[in-house]
Amino acid sequence: MKQKLQQALRSSLDRLKKSKQLSFQLPEEIQIEYTRSPEFGDFASNIALVLAKQLQVKPHELAQWIIEALSAEEWLEKVEVAGPGFINFYLSSDTQNQVVADVLKETENYGRKDIGKGQRVHIEYVSANPTGPLHVGHGRSAAYGAAVSDILQATGFNVHREYYINDVGRQMDILAISVWLRYLDACGEEFDFPRNGYKGDYIREIAVELKSHYGDRFHRIAEEVFNGVPKDATSEDQEKQKEAHTDAIVVRAKELLGDDYKIVHQFGLNIILADIKEDLAEFGVHYQTWFSEKALSVDGAIDKGIEALRKKGFLYEKEDALWFQSTQFGDEKDRVLRRANGQLTYFASDIAYHWNKLQRGFEVIIDVLGADHHGYVPRVRAAMQALGLEPKAFYAPLVQFAILYRGEKRIQMSTRGGKFVTLRELRNEVGNDATRFFYLMRKSDQHMDFDLELAKSQSNDNPVYYIQYAYARICSVFRQLREKGTLFNQSIGLQSLSSLKESHEQALMNYLSRYPETLSLCALNLEPHHLANYLKELANLFHTYYNAHTFIVDDEALCQARLCLIKAVQQVIKNGFVLLGVSTPEKM
RNA sequence: GCGCCUGUAGCUCAGUGGAUAGAGCGUACGGUUGCGGUCCGUAAGGUCGCAGGUUCAACUCCUGCCAGGCGCACCA
């Protein structure tokens, strides 16, 4: 519709150019926007305001000329000048009605558009270290990544969802020794558990399982284990000392266990990863690939990634270390890929991983990151550019933590003490639907307050409930219809759409027609919250309508037309919720 | 100290350079309660953090300041 209006304005301006001998430069795009309220019509354009200065004409007067030069269109009811020189368009009601037929015809495809043109998009999200269960912060990333993926897919992109498993490195070693030490504890050994170890109860559970699988195969005497290991820190803030302590234990573990170390290492990883996979699957969050960092290092991909950078000339050696010139691409300092001690940094394997993404032919790369990692973005962006990706084909949307509240009371969380609320706990308490929707309701890169009480409540204050209720209510109307022995007749309804004259009906139809644009907006900005807000407003308009008018009326034509309208509403709620991962129960 | 993000109604938050800055909740009145738990109306409530600048037009873009959050490893 916007395009049609732009076309109409363009030809009107052409005509003016000739008749009034005007010369002016058209802007690239003639702006058409939805009006804020029906009193300004359905659409408005600011074109007269934009051109007024060039032409030295008062905007209001210019707008009048443009309107006079517009050719009559049957889909336009009227066109007016308003305010400082806006041109307001009023669509004829038949044009408005058309949306109902469109929705019912296109059903689950209504709103889908091919703006992606099949571009291959790689989106990586969550990718939490497999050192423990997912917590509520990861949950928000999961909900966000899944919704963005589905929205992009629905708008014509070819989306590949991937989870990068950081299954090597120090954190994993610390996990391994944490499990092992709890295992030794279960074997009756006595010692102080390292401050830097993973202290959660799940570690003990894994240790117990390890013991039941392997008996005391990995049992070593505590004195032997801690022999030569530097003392642990005496307070939490002595980072260096804590790390020295755990690092030494890792070395001892490898010495004492030999090849068995790998078994312990893998055992913990497997259990935690299985838990993460199950958790996400239950949350309705799916991936095409679980990509292992270990696999990357095994097949020499890291060297390939480094080689790729070297060939492009962005590497140099300094003080025995290998550096990447990320400052060439706006990073604040160059970054080390290989340390003086010969070890590769995490960044090196991350470059390899991203190089691998490019090699697989993805044209758009999206890394969903926790907001606390924002400092990491410039160097990854730099690497992607160095490797030849267009800057605008790389996106790193940030996801902020949610602050949990139980009513007024804030729920305190600290990762350090292992005292965090897990995603599973949250889902169990408030349900998948509310968890998903609440996460997506707010712009992802902003802090949000997540009220558990509200999320659980079966009241209209709860937006998820409110929208689901609208859907269920519509289902209920159709059930009621059957009980009354009346049949829903879509073709009669569609032929009678012109009888939908109530302001509520007009408003609903107008809003339904905005759904496709809302989807595009979400897709192009990677912002699913627009869709959540849209659905809330749609439900609101529906409830208002429901309370103002009866659908099942004696006038057959009117009745069927109204049923068509609410059926369209039902369809759009469904389409939107599918993309957000929220269910649409028919009864509540 | 440097960098990034955020500052909009009592609260939670929307707001693609446009018209009188909005919604929900909360507050104060009033009206409706029969498809399902309602909904509707009215009012109060704002120097859009502050100050400049760009523009016909700024909550929106730019600069500076103030406040809050996060990040600043040859860690991952």
Give yes or no for CB of A588 within 7 Å of strand B. Answer: yes
Give yes or no for CB of A415 within 7 Å of strand B. Answer: no
The whole-number Å distance from A540's CA to B44's C1' is: 24
The whole-number Å distance from A540's CA to B64's C1' is: 43
Which residue has the closest alpha carbon to B7 C1'?
Answer: A446
Q: Is residue A92 within 8 Å of A86, Cβ to Cβ?
A: no
The whole-number Å distance from A578's CA to B61's C1' is: 36
pLDDT of residue A234: 84
The whole-number Å distance from A549's CA to B29's C1' is: 26
Distance CA A232, CA A223 (A): 15
Give yes or no for CB of A551 within 7 Å of strand B. Answer: yes
The CATH architecture to which A2-91 belongs is 2-Layer Sandwich (3.30)
Buried b (16+ CB within 10 A) or exposed e, A445-458: eeebebbbebbeee
Q: Give φ, ψ of A22 to 5 degrees.
A: -95, 155
Give yes or no for CB of A558 within 7 Å of strand B. Answer: no
The whole-number Å distance from A199's CA to B13's C1' is: 37
3-state secondary structure of A528: coil
Q: Is residue A494 within 8 Å of A564, Cβ to Cβ?
A: yes
Distance CA A270, CA A277 (A): 10
The pLDDT tens digits for A497-517 are 999 988 888 888 988 988 998
The whole-number Å distance from A221's CA to B27's C1' is: 69
Long-range contacts of A570-573 (CB under 8 A, 24+ apart): A570/A471, A570/A474, A570/A475, A571/A103, A571/A104, A571/A107, A571/A108, A571/A110, A572/A103, A572/A110, A572/A111, A572/A512, A572/A515, A572/A538, A573/A467, A573/A470, A573/A471, A573/A535, A573/A538, A573/A539
Q: Give φ, ψ of A449 to 5 degrees.
A: -95, 125
Which nucleotide's C1' atom has the smallest distance to the CA of A318? B74
Which nucleotide's C1' atom has the smallest distance to the CA of A375? B71
pLDDT of residue A265: 96
- What's the fold here for domain A463-580? Isoleucyl-tRNA Synthetase; Domain 1 (1.10.730)
CB atoms within 10 A of CB A485: 6
Distance CA A56, CA A374 (A): 48
The whole-number Å distance from A44's CA to B59's C1' is: 21
pLDDT of residue A238: 80
Which nucleotide's C1' atom has the smallest distance to the CA of A337? B74
Which nucleotide's C1' atom has the smallest distance to the CA of A172? B76
Instruction: Please give residues of chain A from 157 to 196 whose alpha-adjacent beta carbon (CB) lies under 7 Å from any atom of strand B.
Output: 166, 168-171
Buried b (16+ CB within 10 A) or exposed e, A551-563: beeeeebbbbbbb
Which nucleotide's C1' atom has the smallest distance to the CA of A446? B6
Instruction: Please give residues of chain A from 441 to 470 whose alpha-adjacent beta carbon (CB) lies under 7 Å from any atom of strand B.
Output: 442-443, 445-449, 458-461, 469
The whole-number Å distance from A394's CA to B50's C1' is: 35
Instruction: Please give residues of chain A from 123 to 162 whose alpha-adjacent beta carbon (CB) lies under 7 Å from any atom of strand B.
Output: 129
Distance CA A489, CA A509 (A): 19
Which nucleotide's C1' atom has the smallest distance to the CA of A547? B39
Instruction: Please give residues of chain A from 287 to 346 whose alpha-adjacent beta carbon (CB) lies under 7 Å from any atom of strand B.
Output: 318-321, 332-333, 335-336, 339-341, 343, 345-346
3-state secondary structure of A272: helix
The whole-number Å distance from A476's CA to B70's C1' is: 48
Which nucleotide's C1' atom has the smallest distance to the CA of A543? B39
The whole-number Å distance from A454's CA to B59's C1' is: 29
Buried b (16+ CB within 10 A) or exposed e, A307-341: ebbeeeebbeeeeeebbbbbeebebeebbbbbeee
Instruction: Please give residues of chain A from 238 to 267 whose alpha-adjacent beta carbon (CB) lies under 7 Å from any atom of strand B.
Output: 239
Give yes or no for CB of A409 within 7 Å of strand B. Answer: no
Q: Is residue A241 within 8 Å of A232, Cβ to Cβ?
A: yes
Question: Residue A395 forms beta bridges with which residues?
Answer: A366
Nucleotides on chain B that have an atom closer than 7 A to a protein CB are: 2-6, 12-16, 18-20, 22-26, 34-40, 55-57, 69-76
The whole-number Å distance from A395's CA to B53's C1' is: 31
CATH topology agreement for domains A2-91 and A463-580: no
Which nucleotide's C1' atom has the smallest distance to the CA of A445? B5
Place of tokens 């924002």: A374
What ipTM does this complex have?
A: 0.90
Give yes or no for CB of A24 within 7 Å of strand B. Answer: no
End-to-end Cα distance, chain A: 37
The whole-number Å distance from A517's CA to B48's C1' is: 27
Instruction: Please give residues of chain A from 340 to 369 whose alpha-adjacent beta carbon (CB) lies under 7 Å from any atom of strand B.
Output: 340-341, 343, 345-347
Quote the crossing angle between the two packed helices A59-69 and A47-55, to the nearest 10°. Answer: 110
Q: Is residue A348 within 8 Å of A296, Cβ to Cβ?
A: no
DSSP letter at A365? E
CB atoms within 10 A of CB A347: 17
Give yes or no for CB of A503 within 7 Å of strand B. Answer: no
Distance CA A143, CA A444 (A): 10
DSSP per-residue letters across A128-195: --TTS--BHHHHHHHHHHHHHHHHHHHTT-EEEEEEEE--SSHHHHHHHHHHHHHHHHHTT---PPPT
Domains in chain A: boundaries: 2-91, 463-580
The whole-number Å distance from A282's CA to B68's C1' is: 36
The whole-number Å distance from A165's CA to B48's C1' is: 43
pLDDT of residue A528: 94
The pLDDT tens digits for A328-352 are 998 889 999 999 999 999 999 999 9
Question: Residue A165 forms beta bridges with which residues?
Answer: A292
The whole-number Å distance from A526's CA to B16's C1' is: 13
- The segments of chain A whose pLDDT lies below 50 read none
Token readout for A31 is 């702006």
pLDDT of residue A493: 94
Quote the crossing angle between the two packed helices A136-154 and A423-430, to the nearest 10°. Answer: 70
